[in-house]
Amino acid sequence: MPEGYRVEVLDHVQLAMPAGGEAVATAFYEGLLGIPRVPKPPELEVRGGCWFERGPLRVHLGVEDGFRPARKAHPALAVVGIGALCARLEAAGHAPRHVVEVPGMPQWYVDDPFGNRIELVPARA
């Protein structure tokens, strides 16, 4: 370990989104994934985008000029009841794709409404 410091945890993940997509983001991240939207600080609100947080789970979306979705880089969300979530996403038109799993760790990928890749894995007990 380096002397004098230690990186502890991931504070949040930031994904990009196009301008004006806040309602669509809220429908997906809060409405489908169940992560509540929280107010951004006023000085950041003017930039657009939105934040979704519950306890240590923090996903921020920021407006990016010339937006392109993240297709390889992605957050992985650990989910209790992953089968139910996958069924809910599929019913809403966001069908998760099951991928070849790491031994003992099933994985699914789903695209957010902007095309950003999101990985879903079962929460570890």
Residue % of the chain over a pLDDT of 70: 97
The contacts of residue 44 (CB under 8 Å, 6+ apart) are none
The model's pLDDT over 12-58, given as tens digits with 9 standing for 90+, comes to: 999 999 999 999 999 999 999 999 999 999 999 999 999 999 999 99
Confidence of residue 2 (pLDDT cuts 50, 70, 90): confident
What's the token pair of residue 24?
A: 């669509």
| CA–CA separation, 27 and 37 (whole Å) | 10
What's the token pair of residue 101?
A: 């799993």
State the first-to-last Cα distance of the chain, in angstroms, to the nearest integer: 28
Q: Is the pLDDT of residue 1 over 70?
A: no
Q: Which of 1, 42, 3, 18 is nearest to 114 (CA)?
A: 18
Q: Which residue has the tokens 């939207």?
A: 37
Q: What is the pLDDT of residue 3?
A: 87
Task: Please check whether residue 98 is in contact with residue 105, taking contact to mean a CB–CB distance below 8 angstroms.
Answer: no
Is 13-122 in CATH node 3.10.180.10? yes
